[in-house]
Amino acid sequence: MPTLQLDLGQRSYPIYIETGILSDAGFLFEEIQSSHLIIVTNTVLKALYLDTLKVRLTQLGKRVDEIVLPDGESEKTLANLEHILTKLLAMPASRSACIVALGGGVVGDIAGFAAACYQRGIDFVQIPTTLLSQVDSSVGGKTAVNHSLGKNMIGAFYQPKAVYIDTNCLSSLPSREFSAGMAEVIKYGIIYDPAFFTWLEDNQREIQDKHGPVLNTMIARCCEIKAEIVALDEREQNIRALLNLGHTFGHAIEAELGYGTWLHGEAVAAGMVLAAKLSMTRGDINSNELKRIVDLISVFDLPTEGPQNMSSQAYIEHMQRDKKVLENTMRFILPIGIGKARVVSDVSKDELHSLLN
């Protein structure tokens, strides 16, 4: 039975969270009807998981092909999207084929976008292997590639058929990548669930030690919150925008420094602190709440300040191209205490310069 169900009518799908799910690919059988599976992954994960998964799927009588991309955020490009589409055409893959995204947020985003584009849409499933992708990017159907002028500005809303989360994958995850994922975890507590934020404070040692039951509980709660929000607002017309806490500042950092210089979660962490500081200057949170946010982010070795050499004007130039800009007005997600947030569009450039300088 699935751990969770994301309810979107005909586009609803299950989310499985189990330890060791990759060692028994029989779990794929019910959701994947296609006889032709194309695994999209990267060079690092190919060595860790690809051969095992191919053997399991072949044993189920599937035709299995693979497309292996270089690793890194800098590879989430239109050129690599074209590479995937060219491979699909050369196989050839029919409209009944199914893409299996085996990897972190980069693989999931670009493979999902390829699935949305190929023959106007074929099935795909997500097997997220990083903490960030398990708690955030694999759920909700956002797919995209980056551009030098903006992150995730070219993409589509396209839901997978299922999400399979194996917490065993986190045992091989570098500590920096694990910490980056914690930024998205902490985000859920700030915007939606004050009790979860307190739970993170109380269980920080067990989380750092990657204690299995604690990780399962944490990931399940994040997916549950994400599923609730996406079910209410699939295409980000209102409440789903709250999931972008810290992202407006964070995306500006990533674009300015070059994708991959700071990990996405690192940039989001600094962005959440900037958003919280802006909230405090506007009277929406107090100094104790700001301290709790900064302290929890710091515990997981995440940055609480932006790059020292990045000017306020550089931030603003990138943020003016952000997806949340509406009618030439920048919009920001700001916390209101811990456990609630709102979208604001009345932040002046003077406020931003004061904050960022």
Which listed residue (187, 251, 318, 331) is catalytic? 251
226 labelled catalytic:
yes
**Strands 332-335, 341-344: pairing kind:** antiparallel
Which listed residue (62, 87, 264, 323) is catalytic? 264
161 labelled catalytic:
no
Q: Is 15 left (phi over 0), alpha (psi -120 to 50) or beta?
A: beta
| Residue (of 86, 96, 160) closest to 128 by Cα position | 160
201 labelled catalytic:
no
Tally of CB atoms within 10 A around 274: 24
251 labelled catalytic:
yes
244 labelled catalytic:
yes
247 labelled catalytic:
yes
| Residue (of 19, 30, 102) closest to 64 by Cα position | 102
Which listed residue (142, 151, 221, 331) is catalytic? 142
Exposure of 146 in the CB half-sphere (CA atoms within 13 A): 20
Q: In terms of C-beta density within 10 A (0-12 exposed, 13-18 middle, 19 or more buried), how is residue 214 classed? A: middle
d(CA 126, CA 104): 9
d(CA 4, CA 224): 7
| Residue (of 133, 93, 148) closest to 117 by Cα position | 93
* Residue count of the chain: 357
d(CA 146, CA 179): 22
Token pair for 141: 């159907």
Which listed residue (184, 254, 266, 289) is catalytic? 184
236 labelled catalytic:
yes
Which listed residue (62, 76, 221, 247) is catalytic? 247
120 labelled catalytic:
yes
Between CA 338 and CA 93, with CA 109 as vertex, the angle to 5 degrees is 155
Contacts of 323 by beta carbon, 8 Å cutoff, 6+ apart:
150, 152, 153
Instruction: Report CA-CA distances (Å) from 353 to 245, 270, 281, 346, 357.
Output: 19, 16, 13, 14, 6
Q: Give the dihedral sign, CA 337/341/346/349.
A: positive
Which listed residue (87, 161, 187, 226) is catalytic? 226
Which listed residue (54, 244, 254, 256) is catalytic? 244
d(CA 315, CA 330): 12
Q: Which residues belong to the active site?
A: 120, 142, 184, 226, 236, 240, 244, 247, 251, 264
